[in-house]
Chains A and B, each alone.
Chain A
Amino acid sequence: MVYLASLAVAAALLVHQVTERWQTSLSEGLTIQVPPPAAADAGGAYTARVDQLIQILREWPGVAHARHLGPAEVSALLEPWLGEAGVSQDLPVPALIAVELAPGAAPDLPALTSELQGVVPGVLVDDHQRWLGDLLALGQSIKIGALVVVLLIILSAVIAVIFLTRTGLAIHQQVISLLHVIGAHDAYIAQQFQIHAFRLGLAGGLFGLSLAAATILSVGAWLRATENEVLPDLALSLSNWSLLLLLPPATALVAMLTARLTVLRSLSRMP
């Protein structure tokens, strides 16, 4: 169960890590799409208008840097979809201007859009929020899903411990009955079971976490080896690994408390 919980928590942490990275990098910039030129308007006039747009951008408050992405860079961006052949000269691809915003800046995007469209009608100013919002919502859904999985695992673990403890109570009925007669408090008897449950929970948790760590590291290494361009780097940060390390003791505590409450409840039925 700790193996499954570790994978679920790791998935949530990775998604959080990746979406934070995306949010930081994408919210620090804009992408300006300049519609491709009409056939009659190709060549120098189009380039001049693109340069004019760049000039406006560089002077706009809040913009730190603006540059035109060359054909090679555009080809590289489109390669996952169009393959290595890339962009052919005949394919009408919009010119892209990458804008880097100053830290903490919040430029007036409607005014900027209006200004740019005055030079080239149809210019699109993309602050990435639309599809970033979709990505963040997806990330949030994954995290909620992972949380639900972890809660279900905890519930399963509690039920398993209850049944195991009751079985233990039945097996050791003679010992418990004797302890009860010689004056052991309920807490003393419960302590014997909770110590046992804690040890088992911790041992099982460490084993499960070890397997999960091996799985996570293997998957990450495999993805890096396949040189995939779509999925981000699935490497957990040190702080995230520290969170995963809390799972075995947390499991042991859940097992211990469940065992204690189960035993106390059973003992309360004895006179």
Chain B
Amino acid sequence: MVRFEEVSLCYDAGPEILSRVSFALDPGSFHFVTGASGAGKSSLLRLLFLGLQPSGGRFSLFGRDVAGLSRSERALVRRRIGVVFQDFRLLAHLTVVENVALPLRVTGQKGQKIHEHVTELLSWVGLADQLNAKPPTLSGGQQQRVAIARAVIARPSLLLADEPTGNVDDRLAVRLLYLLEELNKLGTTVLIATHNESLVARFNHPVLRLKDGSITLERAAYVSSTSTAGTAA
């Protein structure tokens, strides 16, 4: 599903955020990526949804080397990736239904089928009574559930979540993680960036730990036989 080989990342002429990082994620796996603030968790996720170009190394998504993708192919790859942002990034001028429907609209789908699909998903995440609400009127937990719904509406193969519990209380955070586990059981590969060690400890999944630009893998329940994770930079 995902393979990083000696990937480095730095912004402009600044220090390396990631230094020759290598790891692999198998299809259907569930991983946390942790580290202190500024360790590069969000940057790693941005690399994964093709929001950044690495400054060195190579990585592949869904079996394809990202460096060889055209602009059009990169857009198609992004459609297979769902992203949950820490700040939700919901569009305030659109309703909940319209926000969640966006990934379907950009693929050219129209009309009643979208509405049915979206309302069914929103019911699943417990927002059946907020279909026509606008994001600013929702609580943090509700907004996060809308963001998760938008990220999964197009049935992505890979779900990336950047601090999905950062703006909610602990109880809701646990509920959101259970929701993501349910999605994982349906076959979606999940990677969650978080600095919440208590949550990581509570849910027994492998952890990619970022520190000083390098990555180590802990509790390798899904280690790929070709993974080089665990090697310090």
Chain A interface (Cβ < 8 Å from any Cβ of B): 174-175, 177-186, 188, 268, 271
Contact = CB atoms under 8 A, between A and B. Distances in A.
Nearest to A179: B106
Given A174-B91, A188-B106, A183 B76 contact: yes
The binding surface of chain A is classed by DSSP as helix
B83 A181 contact: yes
B102 A181 contact: no
Nearest to B52: A271
B71 interface: yes
B53 A271 contact: yes
A271 B102 CA distance: 20
Contacts of A268: 71
Interface centre among B52, B103, B106 (most CB of A within 10 A): B106
A251 to B, nearest CB: 29
B134 interface: no
29 contacts: A174-B89, A174-B91, A177-B89, A178-B91, A179-B102, A180-B78, A181-B49, A181-B51, A182-B78, A182-B79, A182-B102, A182-B103, A182-B106, A182-B150, A182-B154, A183-B75, A183-B76, A183-B77, A183-B78, A183-B80, A183-B103, A183-B107, A184-B106, A185-B75, A186-B71, A186-B75, A188-B106, A271-B51, A271-B53
Contacts of B49: 181
Nearest to B83: A181
B67 to A, nearest CB: 12
A188 B127 CA distance: 29
B1 interface: no
Contacts of B52: 271
Nearest to B79: A183
Contacts of B226: none
B72 interface: yes
Contacts of A180: 78
Contacts of B103: 182-183
Interface of B: 49-53, 71-72, 74-81, 83, 89, 91, 102-103, 106-107, 150, 154
Contacts, number: 46
A174 B88 CA distance: 12
Nearest to A188: B106
Contacts of A185: 72, 75, 106
B78 A178 contact: no
A187 to B, nearest CB: 9
A108 to B, nearest CB: 72
Contacts of B75: 183-186
Given A178-B102, A183-B103, A271 B91 contact: no
Nearest to B82: A182
A271 B71 CA distance: 8
B172 to A, nearest CB: 23
B57 to A, nearest CB: 16
A182 B104 CA distance: 9
Contacts of A174: 89, 91
Contacts of B89: 174, 177-178
A175 B91 contact: yes
Given A175-B91, A181-B51, 4 more contacts: A174-B91, A181-B83, A182-B103, A182-B150
A268 to B, nearest CB: 7
A42 B34 CA distance: 120
A184 B81 CA distance: 12
Contacts of B150: 182
Closest 6 CB pairs of A and B: A183-B79, A183-B78, A184-B106, A182-B103, A185-B75, A183-B75
A180 B77 CA distance: 11
B163 to A, nearest CB: 16
Contacts of A183: 75-81, 103, 106-107
Nearest to A175: B91
Nearest to A182: B103
Nearest to A187: B72
A6 B104 CA distance: 44
A261 to B, nearest CB: 15
Contacts of A179: 102, 106
B50 A271 contact: yes
Contacts of B102: 178-179, 182
